[in-house]
Each structure stands twice: as structure tokens, then as C-alpha cells.
A = this chain, B = another copy of it.
């Protein structure tokens, strides 16, 4: 069977060149005489891999020097706990903006550890837009403000970075990391599960401003304290070595394509043509507020559940797979991360036009 165009929300497509390189090195990496998977995490070979991965990530995302970059485990969900455990450090208050299920889950988890306020939410409107918040909306003594930059399920993203003044801003960038340029100095902490734009599931990359490290409570589980891994350059215990190696290959691939700036241009072009096709269509519509539309996850519906299902099934037959919306919302969702070739988007648009003609 040929490789398909995989519109899954994550895990999702990886660059074919990267997969091929990983395959070619699987039994023997360079002069090591072994797979990266078989290397001691204390070996010189692996030390170079993790250092290169960090340097590339810093370069690509323009991470300031006063931020630590950590390669951790446990996914975004463990970050929901860690952010609260570590950053509720003075007033034990934090303010959350709830723009989807992931922000909501993060907020609910944080409630175990402090006084959490939902400052704004678009839940009553099925998360179809990003609330506009101002500096005055946040509690003056909040320890941090939390947002989810891109909402995979609902197809939205923040078109702006909220102004939180001196309050550290924490952002879940799992589904938009490396997809567009950001001024990281405006954030206190960002994190991203790897399985969309970085690499294999089971790795999460964190960038945290150094002054926010060291405030976990004494009885904090050792690996949920950012300090543990910050002091050991992510090598306190055995890290997910193969995933870090794979991430490094993806970072090299992004760099070879011109970096995040170039990725952003391609992503904007891919998204624009797909939204354009939807907006011009008489069959499909996108429920998301125009200025808040995600570059990564394009949500659309026909308004007829049965027709949606038919679309998803026939698209699959045409090699365009995983176009079903999240199980909680239905409809369609095309996730077009960095590794989705523009050709895949073109084929999807052509298929949509054909489907519309056949189903008038």
C-alpha cells in the first residue's frame, strides 16, 4: 500500500525524509556500531544528540538564553500538573483562559493545587472563538496566566499574545510549536507534546524562564519538579532517548526548509487555500470565527451528520485519511501540520470539489 495523506490531529504525519533517515540508521548510527535506541544515555554519542537537539530547538524557536529547555516525559497532561505544582509559588492563585478541552483539563488539574479562576471562556459558544482579554482581566496577584495557543479539537488559535504584564504567561503549544514565529520572551513557560510537529509521542519539550524554577513544594514527586531535570540537563534519569534523536532529525528538517519563518509561510498558504475553498463552497462551512482560525487544524462541516460520515469514508478511499472530527464534536477536521505536504492540501481541496458536485 502507498503512503497516504494523514490528516490525523496527532500523532500525525512525519516528514518522509526523516522517517527514511531514521530507518537507514536503525541498526547502526554513524560510527557507533549500534542503534541510537541501544546507546547509553551517558555515552558521548547520545550526549551529542541531545545537545544538538537542544541547540537546534533554541535556534528554531529563538529561545532566549535565560530559559531552560527540557526534554521530559508524560505528555501535555503531566505538564498540566507540573505547571500548577511549580508555578503556584506565592499567592497560589492562577488565572486560566478556557478555549477548549485541553485548557479546561489543565484548569481542572490545577484546581487540585491552588485557587484557580477562569478569566474567560468560549465554552458557551462551543469554543468557536478566542476571547479577547486585557491586562485588567487578570488578578493582580495571580502567580501565572494559562492559555492553550492552538486548539486542535475546535480549530482555533490565538491571533495575539495576551498582555499579562508582569504575570508569567504559560502556553500549551503542543499543536502549533515550530509552525509560526513567536516572541518567546513574552512567555514564562511554553510546552509542547512532540506528537504533532516534533516527533514520537512520549516526549514533551518545555522552555521555562529560569527564575520560575525552584518553587515546587517539598513533597513534590521528584520528576514533577522542573528543578530536577533543569539541574541535570534532562538527564536526571534515562530520558526517552530515541524520541529525542527523532526530534533532532525533525529539527534538522525544519532548518533545512528555511526554519520556522519558512514553515509559517507555507502553513499560512496551505491554510489559506483550504479555508478559501471552504468559504467558497456551498456545501462545506467552517464554524470558526475568521480571525481565530487555526493554521494547523481546519475544522469544517456540511451540517448533515450522515453526509459528513460519507465524506470521511470516501476521502479515506482516495488516500486522504483521518479526516473525521474529534469524537466529541463530529464533522471534519484536517490537521495540516508542518509535515503535511502542500500537495496533500491540494488533493484534499480537489476531492472536496468533486464531492460537492456529486452530492448537490
Nearest CB of chain B from residue A137's CB, rounded to whole Å: 27
| A264 at interface, CB cutoff 8 A | no
CB<8 Å pairs between A and B, sample of 10:
A1-B32, A19-B37, A20-B27, A43-B322, A77-B222, A112-B218, A200-B241, A202-B203, A202-B238, A240-B240
| A193 at interface, CB cutoff 8 A | yes
Contact B221 A40 (CB under 8 A): no
Main secondary structure, interface of A, reads: loop
CB-CB contacts of A1-33 with B at 8 A, as 1s and 0s?
A: 111101011111110100110111011101111
Contact A221 B39 (CB under 8 A): no
Nearest CB of chain B from residue A13's CB, rounded to whole Å: 6
Nearest CB of chain B from residue A115's CB, rounded to whole Å: 14
Point out the residues of chain B lying under 8 angstroms from A112, CB to CB.
Answer: 218-221
Contact B40 A322 (CB under 8 A): yes
Nearest CB of chain B from residue A60's CB, rounded to whole Å: 20
Which of A3, A34, A74 has most chain B Cβ within 10 Å?
Answer: A34
Within 8 A of B (CB), among A149-189: none
- Count, chain A residues at interface, CB 8 A: 74
Nearest CB of chain B from residue A75's CB, rounded to whole Å: 5
* A24–B109 alpha-carbon span in the complex (Å): 41
* Contact partner, A240, options B202, B221, B238, B239, Cβ 8 Å: B202
* Contact partner, A76, options B6, B76, B237, Cβ 8 Å: B237
CB-CB contacts of A318-352 with B at 8 A, as 1s and 0s?
A: 01011000010000000000000000000000000
Point out the residues of chain B lying under 8 angstroms from A20, CB to CB.
Answer: 26-27
Selecting from A78-86, A296-304, A306-314, the interface stretch reads A78-86
| A267 at interface, CB cutoff 8 A | no
Specify the chain B residue showing the minimal Cβ separation from A75. B237
Specify the chain B residue showing the minimal Cβ separation from A219. B112
* A203–B200 alpha-carbon span in the complex (Å): 12
